[in-house]
Structure 1
Amino acid sequence: MKKFPILFITILALCGCKKFVEPGLQNNGKFENIYDEPLLAHGLLLNGYTRIPTNGWVFSDVATDDAVSNDRNNNFSKVATGQWTASFNPLDQWTNSKAAIQYINMFLTEADKVVFDAQNPTLNQMFKDRLKGEGYGLRALFSYYMLQAHAGKIGGTLYGYPILLTPESPTSDFNQPRAKFEDCVQQIYSDLNRAEELLPLDYKDISSTTEIPAKYSGILTETYNRVFGKLFSQRMTARIAKAIRAKATLMAASPAYAGGSTTTWANAAEAAAAVIDLNGGLNGFATNGLTWYAGGSGNQIDGLGSGANPAEIMWRTSIAQNSDLEADHFPPTLSGLGRLNPTQNLVNAFPALNGYPIGSASSNYSDAAPYTNRDPRLAAYILLNGSTAGPGNTTIYTANDRNTNDGLNKVETSTRTGYYMRKLLRQDVNRNASSISNQKHYRPHIRYTEIYLNYAEAANEAYGPLGNGPRAYSAYDVIKKIRQRAGIGLTNGDAYLESIKGDQGAMRTLIRNERRLELCFEGFRFWDLRRWNAGLNEAATGVNISQSNYLPITVESRSYQSFMIYGPIPYSETLKFNAIQQNTGW
């Protein structure tokens, strides 16, 4: 009984301090609030932007004949050496893209109910149009990545993924079968059509009402700029939607997918040409596009205004000031980890300065001086033995008879091939621990050179090397422009190109090789080899340099099965849903 007053007082105290013993209210808005709070609705759409696969560097080149990694636990190395399974798939897009599509579907389903501006009905509709257009464009983009990673054959029929155009809820039937590849492709085209209808070609501030589309007539220029002005640069546009179409049509027309698609090479050529013509045709080809990643005196990054792009870049991430790429890929002498090592296979793909492949007698290639009189892109993209790099122009020796950790297999951060990656890296970055200096970087989502190469490939297949269909330029014209920019064949009129310009097969080989060189280390090679039905098992090689002798070495074998031109559906999905069938072989 003596303890009762104390217990009573304690209870009263706890009751009076209820806020300290019960969870506080969470600062989470309810879903139905999106209709009156447009920023919440906008957040659904922005979730899609945060999931774009090209927001960061991935370096799937390590899974190909172009590169290896000195990180023995690299997931792409595991893929290339026989450990790729439906349960272990570093190339998976099912989870990420499907989640992005879910958020986008939530936005598209509710967008027309959201009040973006209660005072001005036209302005309200403009916001709806733009944001819905972005949603359709993003859904097409993620659908493309889903197809690229997971399309495959079952019993000879090519399938894609379950097409979902409305958001799933806890009561949804998740056990949905995969649609045929052709149906997935047509849905991508449909979404891109909607995006192009709703979006401006580019976001820019206008100064005259004559530039306002008829459907928005009667508004002020400043009102138009509020929705479609330059403030929204790097968001989805009609131009970007057209480029996504160029990517999707090229994939659908390629050998690995053509049997399950009605998309033709002519369709792919026209999709790419539509983008090229908007860029000024061949005259719009950026003369400095080889070094779009450069800063310093090149000023291609440092001098960019807010939201601006250099001529080579159509769409990119925001600019970040860091030295992460250099920390991972500089050689040890420059305080880097030297992670990505280009192969001798890739080095051999760079032609001689006169344009001939180094296997041709006309190239004047010498085994004793293998880097002399070569395509300038070789030294620009790959750090060779004796090259200089870094802010102090340090000489990098990868030779085995030099007393430096940059040499072949000297330490765990040394090169395994005799080469380091140079492309993408800012040479004005200092990684020395006592004076680290960061510099500006960005990652392109789409480069114009990719689209020009898309056209060259598709036009050669559709019309032959010199045919141009309804356009003013041919595959030959584009490849000539690319090689001229690279600085090869300038003294002899590119005699090699001239010698093959009437041969579709030889031109196909050259176009594929130019694509390999121009887009190296940007994550294209893995997917290109598969859509071409090309050989995947060429061993990755390197070079052991000692006393000025260059000895070829095998660095890493490749172990792919024939069915692996198509990636797997996640094993967990096939366990959960019996309607989801796995691709043949997996």
Structure 2
Amino acid sequence: MIKNRNIFTILVVSMLFVGCTDLIDPAQENLRDKNTTYADPNFGLGLLTQGYTRIPTNGWSFSEVATDDAVTNVTTNGFLRLATGQWSASNNAADRWSSCYSGIQYMNIVLSEVEKMTFAEDPLVDNLFKNRIKGEAYGLRALFMYNLLQSHAGWVNGKLLGVPIYLTELNLNSNFNVPRETFNTCTAQVYSDINNAINLLPLDYVDVTNTANIPARYNTTGMTTAIFNRAMGVKFLGLMSGRIAKAIRSQVALLAASPAFADGSANGSNGTWEDAAQYAAEIIALKGGLAGLPSTFNSGVAWYRNTAEISALTAGANSPESLWRAGTSNDNTLEAANFPPTLFGSGNINPTQNLVDAFPDKNGYPITHSSTVYIQTNPYANRDPRLKEFILYHGNTAGVTNAAINMTTGNDAVNVLPTSTRTGYYMKKLLRQDVNYNPSGRNTQMHYKPRIRYTEIYLNYAEAANEAWGSISDPKGYGYTAYDIIKAIRKRALGITTDPYLESIKSDKVAMRALIRNERRLELCFEGFRFWDLRRWKVALSELNTPAKGIIVSGTSASPVYGAPVNVENRIFADHMYFGPIPYSETRKFSNLVQNDGWNN
């Protein structure tokens, strides 16, 4: 299951804390055995680094190309193959098995060895380092388990199973032929690890200026602000923290409460909508309640091109919208892959007509509603501003020259080049329009990848609260409702102070469910959510198999004619594909590792 079962025998150190004077200087050798870690704790910290490098959300997956939101012009894309009939237990673009179990192995080694290490001569500092490192390891282990459940949990003979649980270091003598635990057992283990992380870690990494601000569990005899800051201070921003651990708990609870998993967790305490709402509310409270939701379009919607905020990101600091992020990068990789051909890009991700139609009109009405101001012959006028922000359509502008894109003719039109759109649309979200990819004047700009956004957490609460007690009820006294959150998100996006459509359905739980899911679809599009959301919601199989649609624009650039939507790519999903498979190679090796129903190879 884990290709290198004794990771300690040959490990090249990846340094995490360069320049930290509290850590003993590393030895020169790159090949180390376990005993090395006791004399050289930098080597041990390299094990922790191996966990951070394996976080599945470090990069963009664009799994949307396996949904009704997008297609790709890259014929070898794994998610394209997954969506078009080639998904199998041995060919799985959504597989997280090896990477997450490798991460868990590293965390188990850290937890078993950290107390044997020395991180500073001062015992108070040394103890703080050990506590923090253990907390990080627990939090990362929980994160890996959550991702394993999302990708590989499933039903077997009427029982919802999770994955095998490993809490100790595996070596050549370990028993790898262990059965899968129940989904409930797995979520209970995740919650246990998260609680350990919360108890060991500071809520956030800040330099305290008064001993009264040091958490009581650390404020022992002899503790000073200087000592505390050496191990728990602001220089460790970006590492797993108490706040991040609580956000992961919100994600796990939402998964467990969702329709695809609820039947299997209903007999335990790990899968209620009330739990999911409570855990999201804890994060929202830390953000300042409803008022903490970033309220401006540029901060909350267009965060990826907010130059002032991005330029201010230093040393692990977050923007108002980002709860936890990966590092910044000064590049043009996203633009090179996704700009249209006339901007010298490869046009890889093509939004669908299905997604375009999900954006309401400028007043918040669905475009199929009787009160809409949507005009079929001028389909992009009078629309939700997020449409213009996220999707490049005919006449929309892009690039440093702010040029209008022409879909009627030329290289940006449908299927003209291998790099042209297949749907009549290009992805605009996530891209910096101040990147010039023209070879004669090519430049780069700063980007960052959020691992968790606050908008996700607010949407988690809205979904869970609506399911638990309806959209306008606040039985726990949080000071806001699911309705309040959706109203704030739509006000931020649409710029409207009144929302007649929302008002008309706010007491209708089913209609609010559809609206909340649609707002999640729009707000989080192209960020790797919809593939998993459709499955945890267990939408009708016919919805999973809805063809990806596009549009052909004819006429001239100034006088375009919009044709009827056309099928671009069929989706081929069977009933068992609500749940991903266990890797075929693993089930072949281990007889106790049973496969999810419906999957063979």
- Could you say which TM-score interval applies, normalised by the shorter chain? over 0.9
Per the alignment, in what secondary structure is the counterpart of residue 314 of structure 1?
A: strand
Give distance in 2, aligned partners of 1:193 and 1:181: 18
Residues 5-154 of structure 1: matches in 2 within 5 Å?
A: 27-117=30-120, 119-154=121-156
1:520 aligns with 2:529: no
Residues 388-537 of structure 1: matches in 2 within 5 Å?
A: 388-399=397-408, 402=409, 404-470=410-476, 471-487=478-494, 489-490=496-497, 493-534=498-539, 535-537=543-545
Q: Which residue of 2 aligns with 1:5?
A: none
1:561 aligns with 2:570: no
CA displacement at 1:112 relative to structure 2:
1.3
CA displacement at 1:352 relative to structure 2:
0.5
1:581 aligns with 2:594: yes
Question: Which sits farther off after the overlay, 223-232 or 179-188?
Answer: 223-232
2:547 pairs with one of 528, 531, 539: 539
Q: Is the 8 A contact 1:355 1:488 kept in 2?
A: no
Give distance in 2, aligned partners of 1:413 and 1:105: 45
1:286 pairs with one of 294, 297, 303: 294
Question: CA offsets per residue over residues 328-375 of structure 1, 9 Å max, x none?
Answer: 000000000000000000000000011110001201221101011100
Give distance in 2, aligned partners of 1:237 and 1:292: 23
CA displacement at 1:90 relative to structure 2:
0.8
Per the alignment, in what secondary structure is the counterpart of residue 31 of structure 1?
A: coil
Give distance in 2, aligned partners of 1:329 and 1:169: 44
CA displacement at 1:507 relative to structure 2:
0.2
CA displacement at 1:173 relative to structure 2:
0.7
Per the alignment, in what secondary structure is the counterpart of residue 549 of structure 1?
A: strand
Question: CA offsets per residue over residues 410-441 of structure 1, 9 Å max, x none?
Answer: 11100010000000000000111122101001
Q: Which residue of 1 aligns with 2:11?
A: none
Q: Which residue of 2 aligns with 1:22?
A: none
Counterpart code for 2:255 = M
Residues 83-482 of structure 1: matches in 2 within 5 Å?
A: 83-117=86-120, 119-214=121-216, 215-217=218-220, 218-261=222-265, 262=268, 263-287=271-295, 288-296=299-307, 299-399=308-408, 402=409, 404-470=410-476, 471-482=478-489
Give distance in 2, aligned partners of 1:178 and 1:377: 43
CA displacement at 1:549 relative to structure 2:
2.1
Q: Is the 8 A contact 2:346 2:419 kept in 1?
A: yes
Q: Is the 8 A contact 2:78 2:93 kept in 1?
A: yes
Give distance in 1, aligned partners of 2:185 and 2:33: 36
TM, length-normalised to structure 2: 0.91
Over 4 Å off, 4+ runs? none
Give distance in 2, aligned partners of 1:343 and 1:462: 33
Give distance in 1, aligned partners of 2:312 and 2:131: 33
Give distance in 2, aligned partners of 1:180 and 1:506: 33
Give distance in 1, aligned partners of 2:253 and 2:471: 19
Give distance in 2, aligned partners of 1:303 and 1:36: 38
Counterpart code for 2:237 = S
Give distance in 2, aligned partners of 1:440 and 1:66: 27
Q: Is the 8 A contact 2:73 2:419 kept in 1?
A: yes
Question: CA offsets per residue over residues 42-76 of structure 1, 9 Å max, x none?
Answer: 11111000000111111000000000001122111
Q: Which residue of 2 aligns with 1:10?
A: none
Give distance in 2, aligned partners of 1:295 and 1:314: 16
Per the alignment, in what secondary structure is the counterpart of residue 446 of structure 2?
A: strand
CA displacement at 1:303 relative to structure 2:
2.8
CA displacement at 1:489 relative to structure 2:
4.2
Per the alignment, in what secondary structure is the counterpart of residue 158 of structure 1?
A: strand
Q: Is the 8 A contact 1:431 1:437 kept in 2?
A: yes
Per the alignment, in what secondary structure is the counterpart of residue 443 of structure 2?
A: coil
Q: Is the 8 A contact 1:48 1:100 kept in 2?
A: yes
Give distance in 2, aligned partners of 1:334 and 1:494: 37
Counterpart code for 2:305 = A
Counterpart code for 1:430 = N
Q: Is the 8 A contact 1:115 1:124 kept in 2?
A: yes
Give distance in 2, aligned partners of 1:221 and 1:232: 15
Give % identity: 54
Counterpart code for 2:302 = T
Give distance in 2, aligned partners of 1:26 and 1:116: 19
Per the alignment, in what secondary structure is the counterpart of residue 541 of structure 1?
A: strand
Give distance in 1, aligned partners of 2:239 and 2:311: 21
Question: CA offsets per residue over residues 146-191 of structure 1, 9 Å max, x none?
Answer: 0000000000100011010001110001101000000000000000
CA displacement at 1:133 relative to structure 2:
0.2
Question: CA offsets per residue over residues 128-154 of structure 1, 9 Å max, x none?
Answer: 100000000000000000000000000
Q: Is the 8 A contact 2:164 2:179 kept in 1?
A: yes
Q: Is the 8 A contact 1:293 1:300 kept in 2?
A: no
CA displacement at 1:512 relative to structure 2:
0.1
Q: Is the 8 A contact 2:364 2:494 kept in 1?
A: no
Counterpart code for 1:462 = A
Q: Which residue of 1 aligns with 2:25?
A: none
Give distance in 2, aligned partners of 1:154 and 1:30: 41
Instruction: Report the aligned-residue RMSD.
Output: 1.1
Q: Is the 8 A contact 1:55 1:317 kept in 2?
A: yes
CA displacement at 1:305 relative to structure 2:
3.2
Give distance in 1, aligned partners of 2:534 and 2:463: 14
Per the alignment, in what secondary structure is the counterpart of residue 318 of structure 1?
A: strand
Per the alignment, in what secondary structure is the counterpart of residue 231 of structure 2?
A: helix
Question: CA offsets per residue over residues 460-501 of structure 1, 9 Å max, x none?
Answer: 0001011122121111000000000002544xx100000000
Q: Which residue of 1 aligns with 2:562?
A: 550
Give distance in 1, aligned partners of 2:321 and 2:284: 12
- Stretches of structure 1 that go unaligned for 5 or more consecutive residues are 1-24
1:572 aligns with 2:572: no
Q: Which residue of 1 aligns with 2:15?
A: none
Give distance in 1, aligned partners of 2:81 and 2:328: 32
TM, length-normalised to structure 1: 0.93
Q: Which residue of 2 aligns with 1:20?
A: none
Per the alignment, in what secondary structure is the counterpart of residue 446 of structure 1?
A: strand
Aligned length: 554
